[in-house]
Structure 1
Amino acid sequence: MAFSTLLRPAMLAASRSPRMERAITKMSMTKKLVDRFVAGSTADQAVAAVESLLASGRYVTIDYLGEDTTDIEQARTTVTHYLHMLSAMAELDVKTDSESVRPLEVSLKLSALGQSLARDGDAIALDHARQICTAAEAAGVWVNVDAEDHTTTDSTLLIVKALRRDFPSLGTVLQAYLHRTEGDCRELSGPGSRIRLCKGAYKEPASVAFQGRAAVDESYLRCLQVLMQGEGYPMVATHDPALITAAQQYVESTQRKADEFEFQMLYGIRDEEQSRLVQEDNHLRVYVPYGDEWYGYFMRRLAERPANVAFFLRSLKPGSAR
């Protein structure tokens, strides 16, 4: 209880604190834990991680880290990084037994593409995302639009709707801790939709989001049931054993085939469980982040589980970084 009510909110607040970012990124021992969650700072390092995951039978979604961009040139640089990554992905030797599921995907944060710009942010993000979607389609790679804090949800879903007119395989993310999400799942569970359902990783007020773990879990189950009963392709993004079991029960009750849903987990978390699910003939996609702008992502990963914080604190002890 102490973690969820005290430490987790504090760490989520720290994820957007420039002062905390300066302090934590200067710690040499921080890299030890960052390397657990982030597949390097360069595209070549990310591709190497992807090749290893593909060889193990897992699928991937790659995220070039960055968010809340307020500079147009930085947004354009992010687009360039994605185009370079997509060229590299097109060269990978990808083997799959599925005709309908693409093993390779990229994940986009619209705020990194210009959504947060004070003038014409939505239009700029839409244009940048369209460039990436066009290149991804040519490379045979799926695209998924990430969710961010609740203030961006309406804008994000409108941009997703616009993009899906030309790119119907485009996926997006819904966060179960938001009160609105069950309704969004009902609206977005139609034919051809791809929805990644996660719990949510931002600090949100009680006016828009469930606050306790039990309430969030209950919302996740309601939302997941809606998606499983729908006509789209649910992507079950969780490391929670209870929710994984529930998802398998929903799959059985709705008679979904292996190509009609997938599990998703984060790079560096529960690797043995990832392998187990693959061995049971499930599609399992790993979220692979890379890049130098790792701080916000890193802090949200710490905030998710007490074990991650404990690992971080141990790394701060003298000699532990060696």
Structure 2
Amino acid sequence: MLRQALLAVSRSARAERVISASPLTRGVVKRHVADDVAHTVKELTRRGLLVTVDHLGGDVRDRAQAEGAVRAYLDVLRVLPEGSDVSVRLTALGLRLSEQLALDNAATICEAAAPRGLTVTLDAEEHDTIAGLHSIHDTLRKEHPSVGVVVQAGLPDAAERCAKLDGARVRLRKGALTVPGGHASPADVDRSYARCLRVLMAGTAYPMVATHDPRLLGIAATLAVLEGRDHNGFEYQMLYGVRPDEQERLAGQGARVRVYVPYGAGWYGYFMRRLAERPANLALFARSLLSRC
């Protein structure tokens, strides 16, 4: 019920006005959404962490707005060090207007990223965009084999999707989706996540383990050892501002740790969806805030 309430709030213009105007909210958001993305990336890189950045924009209602999102992604590519990644939301590139439009725009970003030694990961959103997401990913991989894709463990066919992504970069996260027949309870989502980890670690994909859950992090590490993967055979991904000490601890052990750095004015929907993805994130964000006070 809390998850659904948070998702509903994320879509409420009135709630956005109230929450965005709160000084307390702005203080919390500033710790989890980069004000100066170039400076933030530089600092994280200095600490031995990798990054993936996501430009947060509003809903795209026409082609001009989609083109504006493409320009924002092209601009940020110029400030990223080699080995970085950009997380691209296809709805920001016009997916709800036209799948071809989103594909063309995503291809433009991939073409600009490759010469700079950067990768692109297609992010997942509402359940009605999942088919388009995987269709576009399949097409893009023919010309851009390094393009990654998100699989949400809450999907009923998450493990099957992972099994089909041979050789792909796959970001596995829990997800805030409400899907008919999907995994509803946190325990079911966790079990699905563990099943997906087994599939990915045993296969030829490059797993990107996007979670802060200590149990799932431990399962991922154990499976990597059992399947003979070294530190270059997978990576952990965590949100900017959440468990920074754990990020540095893992990196200090030689693990590849990538920090998801959102930036831009459209932070409200992102922030509320991250809380909805796992209501325990409310406690994580609160602890992160207290640890930096």
Structure 1 partner of 2:52: 61
Structure 2 partner of 1:270: 243
Structure 2 partner of 1:18: 13
* Percent identity between the two aligned chains: 44
Q: Distance in 2 between matches of 1:307 and 1:176?
A: 16
- C-alpha distance after superposition, 1:239-291 (max 9, x if no partner): 00000000011001101121110010000001111011101110000000000
Q: Give the length in aligned residue pairs.
A: 287
Amino acid at match of 2:38: V
- Which of 83, 92, 101 lines up with 1:112 in the alignment? 92
Amino acid at match of 1:79: V
Q: Distance in 2 between matches of 1:83 and 1:208?
A: 38
Offset, 1:116: 1.2
Does the 8 A contact of 1:68 with 1:112 survive in 2? yes
Amino acid at match of 1:77: G
Q: After the TM superposition, which residues 2-13 of structure 1 pair with which residues of structure 2 at under 5 Å, given as runs?
A: 6-13=1-8
Q: After the TM superposition, which residues 163-312 of structure 1 pair with which residues of structure 2 at under 5 Å, given as runs?
A: 163-188=140-165, 190-191=166-167, 193-202=168-177, 204-205=178-179, 207-303=180-276, 304-306=278-280, 308=282
Amino acid at match of 1:111: T
Structure 2 partner of 1:319: none
Q: Distance in 2 between matches of 1:284 and 1:163?
A: 25
Q: Distance in 2 between matches of 1:272 and 1:305?
A: 21
- Which of 130, 144, 148 lines up with 2:121 in the alignment? 144
- What is the TM-score normalised by the length of structure 1? 0.85
- What is the TM-score normalised by the length of structure 2? 0.93
Structure 2 partner of 1:3: none
After alignment, is 283-292 or 71-80 more displaced? 71-80
Does the 8 A contact of 1:301 with 1:308 survive in 2? no
For structure 2, the residue ranges without an aligned partner over 5 or more in a row are none
Q: Distance in 2 between matches of 1:259 and 1:310?
A: 28
Does the 8 A contact of 1:105 with 1:144 survive in 2? yes
Offset, 1:306: 4.3
Offset, 1:105: 0.5
Amino acid at match of 1:136: A
Structure 2 partner of 1:99: none
Q: Distance in 2 between matches of 1:11 and 1:309?
A: 14
Offset, 1:67: 5.5
Q: Distance in 2 between matches of 1:268 and 1:55?
A: 16
- C-alpha distance after superposition, 1:107-131 (max 9, x if no partner): 10000000012xxx10111111111
Does the 8 A contact of 1:68 with 1:116 survive in 2? no
Helix, strand or coil for the counterpart of 1:62?
strand
- C-alpha distance after superposition, 1:51-83 (max 9, x if no partner): 011011110000001354122211111111111
